[in-house]
Amino acid sequence: MKEAEIRRLFAANLLRVFSVILTAVVPAFFWDGFTVLGTHLTWLCVCSVFISTLSIILHLGLKPNLTPKRSSLAHKISRFLKCCIYFFMSCILFHAIIVLYGAPLIE
């Protein structure tokens, strides 16, 4: 990768991190009694849609160059399977935390 591409991707990732932090901090100034742990599901959905939209806009705007290996079907299938495994592991970990620490964690 070129140095300019690395800088742009770094800036894009910083923008994503900053927007996640803002979605957790800014509502406390406008919404009385707002806490991150007590957020409503609607608010979490709005935040995730905002971050997803930002990621898509940044991807379309920056247009990172993909190597031929990354665009192959075998690479895409292996990445998909890896993502499925990571998702399954995170679900198991989340379930273990909920079971170990009890239901008040999500109330």
Return the SS3 of 66: coil
The one-letter code for the residue type at 83 is: C
Under 8 Å between Cβ of 15 and 54: yes
Which pLDDT score, from 0 to 100, does residue 106 have? Answer: 52
> Which pair of tokens denotes residue 64?
């990172």
Q: Domain residues of the chain, as ranges?
A: 1-65, 68-107
- The pLDDT-based confidence of 54 (bands split at 50, 70, 90) is confident
d(CA 46, CA 52): 10
Element (H or E) spanning 107, and its range? none
Q: Residue range 26-35: average pLDDT?
A: 74
Which pLDDT score, from 0 to 100, does residue 91 have? Answer: 82
Q: Closest by alpha carbon to 19, among 39, 42, 38, 46?
A: 46
Q: Residue range 39-65: average pLDDT?
A: 73
